[in-house]
Structure 1
Amino acid sequence: MHKILFCFLLFTTLSFSQSRSITGVVAEENNKPLESANVIAKPLQEKASLKFAIADNKGRYRLELEKAVKYEITVSYIGFVEEVFILEADAVVTTHDFKLKPTGEQLKEIVIKHEFKPIEIKKDTMTFNVKSFANGNERKMKEVLEKLPGVEVDKNGGVTVQGKKVTKMLVEGKSFFGGGSKLAVENIPADALDKIEVIDHFNEVGFMKQVSDSDELAMNVKLKADKKKFVFGDVEAGAEVGNADNGFYLGHAALFYYAPKTNLSFIGDLNNIGKRTFTFDDLMRFGGGMSTFLSGRKSLTNLYSFANDNQDVVQNTSQFGAFNFSHDTSSKLSISGFSIFSKVLTASQTESKNEYLQNSAIAFENRLQEGTNRSVLGIGNIKLDYSPSAKEKWYYNGQYQSSNNSISNTINSITNVNASIFETLNKADNTAIKQYIEWHKSYNLKHTTTLVINQAYDYNTPRTNWFTDQPFLAGLIPLQEDSAYRIEQVKKVKTNSVDALFKHYWIINNFNHLYTNVGNNYGNSRLETTEQQLLTNGNVNDFAMSGFGNSIKYQLNDAYVGLEYKFRIGKWTNKPGLYAHWYHLTTDQKSGERALTKTLLQPQWNSDYEFNKSESLNFVYKLENSFPQSTQLAEQFTLQNYNLVYKGNALLQNERFHNANLRYTKTNLYRGITWNAMASWNQKVRTIRNEIQLDGINQFNTPILSDNPETNYNVNGSFSKKIYRFNLRFNTNFSWFTYFQTLNNTETLNNRNNQRLGVVLRTAHKKWPGFSIGYNKGFSQFSGLTQSQFQTDAITSDFDISIAKFWTFKCSYENLKNTNSNKQSNFYDIANTSLRYQKKNSPFGFELMVNNLFDNKVKNDFSFSDYLISQRTTFVLPRVFMLSVSYKL
């Protein structure tokens, strides 16, 4: 270890000794700084690389140049004459200021003599030229993005730019598979990329950008000229070579066709090594099928089992296919859409040691759980984009979704009083049809109108059977004595919603806007549940006679009007708003029909202060109301788990809560520093929370509405600094959650707090091996009926290097240590590595990959909730040696 550290320090010292820097200021003739001016240093000899910088808000720039190299340094800025400075190879100059002269004329076009600029910054758009950052060894878009300054890609394919999450992914200006990021970053070949555009405050409708106040951040991929009418992509097949008895395999295809009018994409994946092709965020985007103007509608469809990598299982087989298309039928009409098919089969095994906290005692449970899950999903989506003129836009989007889930679960529960074995079989068929229509019209420079109508239909039919060898939930369910016990539950949930919004935008002048909103959200649902005991003699014990079995008709209508006033004072932009809502909630169930009508005011405020193009402060406040769902209002008992019975509360009313967010961002390109910080506050003044009755491990829950406040504070931030050819990043996250919990008729004030501190150091030079190492320290505390606390220590590292031109070696390592309040610790580490061979001009590539290099069998962790402390052991996939062959089109 000491030798490695010494070599690293020596390498760093030598690297610094082979460089020199030059700084200065770019300004107008009157010394006014020119923010975001491009400074490019072009080497005038071979085997030296081009360098660049962007001037900060004070016009300052800094160039890190190679020693003993002659450079031509050019500064350019729109509307000004370029200025060139020659820096000799042996020059001792360390500073140079540039004074640019205005062109003095309006140019129809600007001709830049350089082939490209590494980074271009305009008002809301930042463009990266991929050639400036990639070294040619990258295979997929993800590897390129990780080398762009201020851009980060997480392990699930999520992309952030300067701390803000990318919410829309485009290729050549068109949505890529609904706009999700993972399918793009992990499948688009790196050698097809020309430029990456990052567009803040993105809006699909160009003439709406000034008034929409969109908070979306879009990333647009611009392809190389030879890829814009070309079939490209790759296919890959792999099989296990270390232990053929395990039968691990991998098949993958990513194929793309892009032409001026027609774009086609296909992604297929087949593997049993725990790799999923898309994340839950992407799936929610696929399954949304709703207008972004009306995104508050909740979906009852549960699709968690289809998303995210899952190697914390003993078996995982995944089949996935996705097709995306877009076609411009004319200059006014384009058609786009996608289809998704996914089939996932998993088998899991966990062991848990649970402590159930009660007022006067603690119940202990050792639980062994084994299960299998088979999930099948199909989605079809089509979208029409019609522009009858430059000032009018129509959208229609229709989606059909069908899924099936089959779950088999066996639990061996051993407590301090008895032992039981429970087997659970669950099957659910889900169908959803969603569609919306949008109309946008700009009448003139002052008046614009939007009309949106959204419709959604869901029908879910889960069926559950519980099997056990002895009575359970004594006193909570009406069991009849039998030699074996089988409980059958059938649920039917049918929902339908129609939402509409009419919005008018009035631009009074450049500093004052007035927005008028009129809308209505209507939703109805029908929930039916039945539970019964199927006796071994063929008889049926219907639980309906003991208060089980729900049949509820639910209807909620929300009519509203709102006024928003946007005004600007210098660099400060504000948008206060006031909405009046008329809520009408009706339920019809066995106890009769109930109606609730309320008129509520909901104020809001959005404030932005822009210090300069690279520094801003944003504040958002809203007072909102949330009404209970049909499951919370269903007044009959429902069996939810082998140790849990639930009963709704027909008298519930709305929750009311304050929500505020403060966000600060700053980028100093001169110093290579990026700041991001956000603080949020959420306080419920009227709260719906479950009241819990706990007897041993058996639970009875029912929701109650109280005036007890719930307060949640969250503060997170990051700071990154470029130090020569390294990037150093610090990140923090702190949260405080305070709430009241009623357990066994005793009300307790609970506090749940978390703190996380992290640091990451990585190389930031395309000619160097890619290396990063990070450390995260986490603390968690819970206080209520008892005091508990946990700590986590995590180290992560990634390394990749090119060897002898054609070989690429990659390695990733992660270890995690968990420590509980009794100073008991558990530890696991995971390492994955690969060695790839591919000649630069050869379509074939060969890769040897090893997952779970150390062949760990289990993962361990601690967790806690309001009344449960758990230590869990999860069995994971074994070590996998896989040899794959890929072919690039």
Structure 2
Amino acid sequence: MKYYVLVALMCVTSLSFAQITMSGVVKDSIGQPLELTNVIAIVPESGGLESYSITDSKGYYKLSLAKNSKFKLQITAIGFKSIQEEIVTKEEDIKRDFIMKIDDALDAVELTYEMPVQIKGDTLIYNADSFKNGTERKLEDVLEKLPGVEVTEDGGIEVEGQRVQKVMVDGKDFFDGDTRIATKNIPSNVVDKIQVLKNYSEQRQLSGVRNNQDNVAINIKLKEGKTNFWFGEVKVGGGASTDEALYVAQPKLFYYNPKYSLNFIGDLNNIGEPALNGRDLRNFGGGFRAPSTGSGTNLNLGTNVGNFLNTNRNRVERIESKLMAGNFSYSPKESLDFSGFVIYNTNRVDVRERSSVQYTDPDLGIPDENTTQDARQGTDNGLVKFSTRYIPNVNNQLDYDILGRYTKEEQRQRFVSSVLGGTSQFDENDPFSINQNLNYYLTLNETNIFAFEAQHLFQDEDPFYNAIIDEKDTYQNTAEVIGLDLNQANFDLVQDRRIKTNQFDGKLDYYKVLNKKSNLNLFLGTIFSRQDFDSRIFQFLDDNSTFDPTPLDDLSATNDVRYSFSDLYAGVRYTAKVGAFTFQPAVSFHAYGNNNFQNGQEFGEDFYRILPDVEIRWDIKNSENLRLTYNMQNQFTDVANLAQGLVLNNFNSLFVGEPTLENGLSQNVNLRYTNFNLFNFTNIIAFLTYSKREDQIRNIVDFESVVRNSTVFNSPFADETFTAFGRYQRTFGKIRAEFQANFNYSKFNQIIGGNRSTNENYTQSYRPGIRTNFREAPNVNLRWQYSIQDVDQGTRRNQIYTNAPSIDFDAYIWKSVTFRTDYTYNSVDDGTNVNTFDIWNATLSYRKERASKWEYEISATNLLNTQSRINTNAGNISFSLQETFIQPRFLSFRVVYTL
């Protein structure tokens, strides 16, 4: 592996030495430097872009050009006459200054070649063709080549370190702006411009008074000829593996015009490439944002998804997926918009894991355990959303959204333990929810603005769990605690739960514009939540009858809990801009009600709390700023932690809640620096965060052999986390280099075996990387991930070292063949053992020319036929090694037809 990385680095270095630098200063006629002037060099024969630069505040530019070549130089700036000259390079660098004359006619600047990057206010515009080399197939392939843009493993998009909130196509939400659906499905060949919208706001009236600095959106502008016309692609194929025949069918069809748009995505495959998995859909929020976000109250309504194993595509033995998704938008008139989507998705997944757990404290008397898990999961998801927006004039806006979600999921799992023996488990859950959102915005006049935002959630969950425990002797003590009938051939344990949630979240804002640089925000809001929690544990007997157990220690095998939470709050926020600084202090006053009723008793309290919030921002210059934030948050649990009857997390983890739990309080500080330099495409991101949490809900844990018995309490010991992160990225001509470092420290407390257990975790990671983006030559992307996890478990200290170098390679050959391959090597060293695995994938595609409608593709995944992935983890009282079996080598042939 080191040899191949070295060869790739030598190739990249040799290509960089084949260039010279042309640099200088661009000034106006009186000698003043011109900032943000476009300087581009074009290859005369092909008309292709060789290099480009945007002048900095001193008017300085720099181009990287091939030696002994001829180029056409073009210099443009708004309000000035353009300069066009021919230059010839030799072996030496070139120094050249330019003087631009004012264009008295003020005609539009005539460009013979589009600039790769432009800035217009808060909008950063990338010309997609300037970064393409012919190997791209999806939107994510283009985004990864843009300076300052990152695509994460989960399909998220980051611009200058900030998460993109939504993706639009020609100004219309693409499946409600979900970034994963967009990056994985929008064809690269239809993308003309990529507009990064900073300080994005969907409410024009609030754009000048509300803090939108964390809001970033992307709008994809389609190429000419793609509107009023169907476009997309249809992919079909098949192949073979060691176990079964393979198939794939993926139609993707899109239609856009100024009045309406239609999008359809289909997927049918068993090659391990699901368009969406269950986790993606569970996290799919449909664009909803709670009005109370930022109020200082954090109510955690947990999702009761049972004991379902992780089904990330890289952690399963087999996955079969089906998807039908449709999205529409319609504007019958300029003031009225309708939009919505329908998504139906099914996944059938096989998971196999093998684990080894060593407990670090011998005084606890917990035996080490080896386990295997074989599971088959089935998930059906359905989502429907409808939205409407009415803007009759610039002073009024009304929005309404409704999202319905239904899921049917089940899992059958065989669990074998070296301590407890074999257990067959079955999980089933059919949850559904309806989320509604109503917003109204009114501009009374230039200095008075009102905003009303309300959201209602209804959610119904019914997780069912069944465990058949083969070996009674190893489970005897736990069975007695639960109160099971011991005179049976085995223990057939069952749990039914039902959790209903009703939550209203509403807020009224009043903005008073004091002057051009300051405003006052008065707000009044409320959160009201009601949860009903019912559960029952029972036993199937040998004669198929049921038995209701009576647990020991006065516990109950049933729960019937009614939990209500309310927060009525009012506050004020002041925003003032003083020079390059923006100050935004705020304070909110909260009246809380937190009560639960169970077993004929009522628990809870009413109390008051004042929560401060402050943000200070220093805009050092364009695209460079430093921001400091501080806030206090009240954190509240959901009903599951309050139920004092016995609950099975699973057969080897028993839980009892605490009805007298109180809220936790956290104090959070964040210092963030960002700098994006368009002159040399340097992107710097750094931040420090510190959080101190008091009265947090933590666990009290006891063990019976390897069976975990736990409850919760408000910890009197403060928990702390500290994170430091930095990333430096710079583009040198066609080469982009970056270095990323991260340090994290966390400390949390719990009670284990009657003693306080303080767990301190130090994690540091480093990731250097270099990638090229040559138009003709092959391109590589080299990365090296190195991390150290240092865990102080009190009685033992563990260090885990992870090395993960990787390389991606792509080449566009003979203007018809695309070859892409990626290789990743992983090494995990826990100080005793070194575990390794590697993954190699490759794709070879042929299309007669770029504009050809037909493409033929051979794809190979896991070429080395790696059987499993290894993960090592040091917890608070244990050290574990987990082996997850993955999909075998797949070979498939595919045909793609482009509309």
Same fold per TM (> 0.5)? yes
Q: Does 1:459 align with 2:460?
A: yes
Q: CA RMSD in A?
A: 2.4
In structure 1, how many angstroms separate the alpha carbons of the residues matched to 2:421 and 2:90?
83
In structure 2, C-alpha distance between the alignment counterparts of 1:827 and 1:356, rounded to whole Å: 23
User: 1:95-154 deviations in whole A, cap 9, x for unaligned?
Assistant: 23344455578x6x7343435222101331110111211123422222212222222223
Other structure's SS at 1:178 match: helix
Q: Take 2:20 and 2:649, find their aligned partners in 1: how far apart are those partners?
A: 68
Question: Is the partner of 2:201 in helix, strand or coil?
Answer: coil
Asked if 1:356 is matched to 2:354, the reply is no
Contact kept? 1:33, 1:57, Cα under 8 Å: yes
Match of 2:633 in 1: 624
Q: What corresponds to 2:483 in structure 1?
A: 478
Deviation at 1:373, TM superposition (A): 0.9
Q: 2:82 & 2:310 partners in 1: Cα distance?
A: 51
Q: Alignment identity in percent?
A: 27
Q: Which amino acid aligns with 2:520?
A: L
Counterpart position of 1:789? 799
Alignment CA distance shift 1:442-1:530 (3 Å): same
Q: CA 1:454–1:47 in structure 2 vs 1: closer, same or farther (change >3 Å)? A: closer
Tell me the equivalent position of 2:179.
181
Quick one: which amino acid aligns to residue 665 of structure 2?
A: R
Residues 693 and 744, structure 1, Cα contact 8 Å, conserved in 2: yes
Q: Which amino acid is 1:174 matched to?
A: K
| Residues in 2 aligned to 1:708 and 1:5: alpha-carbon distance in whole angstroms | 48
Q: Does 1:493 align with 2:499?
A: yes
Tell me what 2:196 maps to.
198
Q: Does 1:522 align with 2:521?
A: no
TM-score under structure 1 normalisation?
A: 0.95
Structure 1 counterpart of 2:144: 146
Query: 1:435 maps to which residue?
Result: 436
Match of 1:227 in 2: 226
Q: Quick one: higher RCO (CA 8 Å, sep 6+), 1 or 2?
A: 2
Q: Helix, strand or coil for the counterpart of 1:373?
A: strand
- Residues 611-661 of structure 1, C-alpha deviations (whole Å, 9 max, x = no match): 111311112211000122111111112122121110111111110001122
Shift of 1:668: 2.9
Given candidates 768, 774, 782, the residue that maps to 1:759 is 768
- Distance of aligned partners of 1:715 and 1:600 in 2 relative to their CA distance in 1, 3 Å threshold: same
Q: Is the contact between residue 375 and residue 412 of structure 2 (CA under 8 Å) also seen in structure 1? A: yes
Cα distance in 1 for residues equivalent to 2:831 and 2:845: 45
Shift of 1:366: 1.2
CA displacement at 1:43 relative to structure 2? 4.2
Q: How far apart are the structure 1 equivalents of 2:199 and 2:9? A: 43
Match of 2:382 among 358, 374, 378: 378
1:777 touches 1:793 (CA, 8 Å); kept in 2? Answer: yes
Superposed displacement of residue 689, structure 1: 0.3
Which letter does structure 1 place at the counterpart of 2:211?
D
Q: Which residue of 1 aligns with 2:725?
A: 716
> Which residue of structure 1 lines up, in the alignment, with residue 130 of structure 2?
132
Alpha-carbon distance change, 29 to 564 in structure 1, aligned in 2, over 3 angstroms: farther
Per the alignment, residue 592 of structure 1 pairs with 601
Contact kept in structure 1, 2:266 and 2:324, CA below 8 Å: yes
- For structure 1, list consecutive stretches of 5 or more residues without a partner in the other structure: none
Conserved in 2, the CA contact under 8 Å of 1:276 and 1:308? no
1:682 and 2:691 are equivalent in the alignment: yes
What is the deviation of 1:71? 3.9
CA distance in 2, matches of 1:584, 1:58: 59
Contact kept? 1:811, 1:833, Cα under 8 Å? yes
**Counterpart AA for 1:171:** V
Whole-Å separation in 1 of the counterparts to 2:424 and 2:280: 33
- Aligned residue for 2:862? 852
Q: Which amino acid aligns with 1:77?
A: A
* Matched-pair contact (CA < 8 Å) for 2:854–2:896: yes
Q: Aligned pair count? A: 882
8 A Cα contact 2:78 2:109, kept in partner: no
- Structure 1 segment 771-850 matched on structure 2, within 5 A: 771-785=780-794, 786-822=796-832, 824-840=833-849, 841-850=851-860
1:312-344 deviations in Å (ceiling 9; x for gaps): 222211111111100101111110001111111
Q: Match for 2:879 among 866, 869, 872?
A: 869
Matches within 5 A, 1:82-121: 82-84=82-84, 86-88=86-88, 94-101=94-101, 110-121=108-119
Range 812-821 or range 56-65, more displaced = 56-65
- Residues 13 and 563 of structure 1: CA distance in aligned 2, closer, same or farther (over 3 Å): closer
Query: Are 1:283 and 1:307, in contact at CA under 8 Å, matched by a contact in 2?
Result: no
CA positional deviation for 1:813: 0.5
Aligned partners of 1:723 and 1:458: how far apart in 2? 52
| Deviation digits for residues 680-701 of structure 1 (CA, Å, limit 9, x no counterpart) | 1111022110111123211111
1:21 is paired with a residue of what secondary structure? strand
Give the one of 510, 535, 542 matched to 2:541.
535
Q: Partners of 2:424 and 2:316 in 1: how far apart?
A: 19
**CA separation of 1:139/1:649 partners in 2, compared to 1, >3 Å: closer, same or farther?**
same
> 1:64: how far off?
1.4
Q: Which segment drifts farther, 80-89 or 757-766?
A: 80-89
Letter in 2 for 1:52: Y
Aligned to 2:427: 426
CA contact (8 A) 2:300 2:637 kept: no
Contact 1:657–1:682 (CA under 8 A) maintained in structure 2:
yes
What is the TM-score of this pair, normalised by structure 2? 0.94
Residue 868 (structure 1) shift: 2.4
Q: Tell me by how many angstroms 1:721 deviates.
A: 2.4
Report if the CA contact (8 A) 1:181-1:282 is conserved: no
**CA 1:4 to 1:497, structure 2 compared with 1: closer, same or farther past 3 Å?**
closer
Tell me, in whole angstroms, the C-alpha distance in 1 between the residues paired with 2:481 and 2:2: 63
1:223-254: CA deviation from partner (whole Å, max 9, x where unpaired): 012001110101111111465x5122211111
What letter corresponds to residue 87 of structure 2 in structure 1? L
The 5-angstrom pairing of residues 706-745 of structure 1 reads: 706-745=715-754
1: CA distance between counterparts of 2:882 and 2:234? 39
* Native 8 Å contact 1:426 1:464 kept in 2: yes
